[in-house]
Each structure stands twice: as C-alpha cells, then as structure tokens.
Structure 1
Amino acid sequence: MSLTIHHDSELDCLTVQMGENFDFSVHREFHDACLGEKAVARSYVIDLGEVNSMDSSALGMLLLLREHAGAERAEIRIVNAGADLRGTLRVAGFDKLFVLH
C-alpha cells in the first residue's frame, strides 16, 4: 500500500500519509480513502513527507478532495512537503486553496 490512512474520530480528522510517489498509481487508494461515501471528515491532513515526486493527477486529486470536503469551507492542510513540492504547489496556486505547512 502506498498510502497510510488514520482517522481521529475525536477530532474527526482524516490524515493521509502519502508514499514516495503521489501520482495516478495511487488514484484508487486515494479515492477510496478520501472521496468515498464514508470518507467525509471535518478536516483533512495530507502528509507529503515521504513524497519524492508528484504529477498533475496528484493536483487533480487534491482539487477533488477540496470539492468533496466543501470547497471554500474545506479544512485541508498539506504538511511536510519538501521545497520542490512546495514550489510546485505554489506555482499551481494551491497555496491559495490549501493551508501549506
């Protein structure tokens, strides 16, 4: 499995720790964990600490998560992104859509 899911039921926060690659190969796992009918949480944390590469499908998955979580009302934090990934997210304008830590 290339991602790890943890749901804190007390805080209703779903944390997704991504593996080395955040790309189309994890689409099904990401969808099932974050976008399925049972996956609606109050907040989300996407941990990119282990991610070495990310492609455009990863950006699309993040946008789908944002819509699923309530768009402007969504509480989604992207954490532990390395400098290159943070740069990619900023160039794509994701620093305006998500909280980047």
Structure 2
Amino acid sequence: MTISSQLSADGQELTITIQGRFDFNAHQAFRDAYQRVDCTPKRYVVDLSGATYLDSSALGMLLLLRDHAGGDKADIRLIKCNPDVRKVLSVSNFEQLFAIA
C-alpha cells in the first residue's frame, strides 16, 4: 500500500493517489496526505487507479476527508476506479456524496 499526494501548481487541487490495498492499515498515511498540506485546496481528487481492494474502513476514511474538505460543500472526485472498487462505492451509495468518474 502506497499513498501519495500532489498539490497543483496553483494550490487549488490536491490529488491523492492510492496504490494497493486501501484498508485500515492506510489510515494514518491517508490522513497525512491531506492534513500535511500547507494550504487549503478548493478541490480534492482521489486517484483509485492503483487500488486493488477497498473495505469499510476506507469508506470511513473517505468520509473523514469529506468532513475535512467542508462536508456537503466539499468538491471531491474519486477517479479511475476499477470495477470491484466501483461496486463497493455503488453499494455504499457513495455516488450521492462524491463525484465518481
């Protein structure tokens, strides 16, 4: 499991990239990816192209990111989900909380 983050040049968008299993073991690394940024981005992108597994704790971490980013006003996109990850997000009704592409 590897989690990295990249702030856009203008500081408006933070991209968090997940590689491998996105589960409880990723909790601290995921929080660090968005909390240790010097500014407050307007948009967050979570790139799940490398995520091979997603469990309920990962869903909880995404909800914590949503709260951190402003709750209902948060602009968060979950992108490049493989079919298994997309199914977990769909069953959990996360398309009502996040833009999923």
TM-score by length of structure 2 reads: 0.91
Q: Supply the AA of the counterpart residue of 1:86.
A: R
User: Is contact 1:34-1:40 (8 Å) kept?
Assistant: no
Change (3 A) 1:36 1:29: same
Aligned residues: 101
The unaligned stretches of length 5 or more in structure 2 are none
The unaligned stretches of length 5 or more in structure 1 are none
Question: What does residue 58 of structure 1 align with?
Answer: 58
* 1:9-88 correspondence to structure 2 within 5 Å: 9-10=9-10, 12-36=12-36, 38=38, 40-88=40-88
Q: Which structure has greater strand proportion? A: 2
Percent of paired sites with the same residue: 39
User: Is contact 1:12-1:43 (8 Å) kept?
Assistant: yes
State the Cα distance separating 1:35 from its structure 2 match: 3.5
Cα distance in 2 between the residues matched to 1:53 and 1:39: 30
Question: What does residue 93 of structure 1 align with?
Answer: 93
User: Is contact 1:33-1:39 (8 Å) kept?
Assistant: no
Structure 1 stretches (4+) deviating beyond 6 angstroms?
A: none
RMSD of aligned C-alpha atoms?
Answer: 1.6
State the Cα distance separating 1:42 from its structure 2 match: 0.7
Partner SS state of residue 10, structure 1: coil
